[in-house]
Amino acid sequence: MKIKRVCKLCEKEFLIYPSRIKRGRSKFCSIDCFKDSRAKEKRICQQCGKEFKAFLSRINAGGGKFCSYKCMGMWRSENFKGENSSHWKGGKTKRICKQCGKEFEIKPSDIKQGGGNFCSNKCHGKRQSENRRGENHPSWQGGISFLPYCSKFNNEFKEYIRDKFGRICFLCSKPESEEGRRLSVHHVNYDKSCMCNDNLTCQFVPLCRSCNSKVNTNREENEQKIKAKMQNKLNGWYV
């Protein structure tokens, strides 16, 4: 059973078998219309004013306005921006910086993602340093960073640990030569006084700057991670 279609060139209604539609042969009512659709007509580019030729089928479909994709892109960028764009969402929103009180503008999409509180990274950093220090910081451990190290934890001992592990980071295997500085020596149990306490066993590993920074968050998890790796590689190894 044939299906009704409309010719893309002459806009005449015609009948065609579904099998021909599946093969993409349902655009024109006749061979003559198909041939005529391949004919070209002179046009003037709406962007650069250059004369060019376009297929009649493209012209009838609403095309044939630009001589190239470049000109079409330039025209769209000039005429479809701001309020003229189909993606226009109302523009930027005015906000007041919570740090300096200055008024600034920000995209609504940034506000949805939790932004819009500060006018700059500088103001955001100041607010963080003022309100996320000491007991207000999520990594606060009760002030243990101010506790003194055991006197036995000296430069000689640190060099001993670095040499024992081949002067590479225990977690990422980065060599000390690439670090550009001596590797940090990390207390696995985070107890600075363990070497001076006979009731405690101590474990130490050398770490690069990046890994040493990472292990100071989620301490319990990182302690177990390092101990498991030491057990696997070194059978525990205690000082």
H-helix segments, 113-203:
121-131, 155-164, 176-179
In degrees to the nearest 10, what's the CA dihedral of 166, 167, 169, 173? -60
Residue with token string 């009180």: 101
What 3-state class would DSSP assign to 16? Answer: strand
Total residue count of the chain as it appears in this document: 239
| Per-residue pLDDT in tens (0 to 9) along the chain, 239 residues | 888 988 887 888 988 888 888 887 788 888 888 877 777 788 999 999 999 988 877 888 888 899 999 999 998 888 887 677 767 777 788 899 988 999 998 888 888 888 889 999 899 888 887 776 656 666 656 655 546 788 888 999 999 999 999 999 999 999 999 998 999 999 998 888 888 877 777 889 999 999 999 998 888 999 999 998 888 776 555 55
Residue with token string 């376009």: 54
Whether the pTM exceeds 0.85: the reply is: no
Domain boundaries, the chain: 3-78, 93-132, 146-234
The two three-digit tokens of residue 89, written as one number: 């969402």
Rounded Cα distance, 118 and 106, in Å:
10
Nearest to 170 by CA among 225, 216, 238, 218: 225
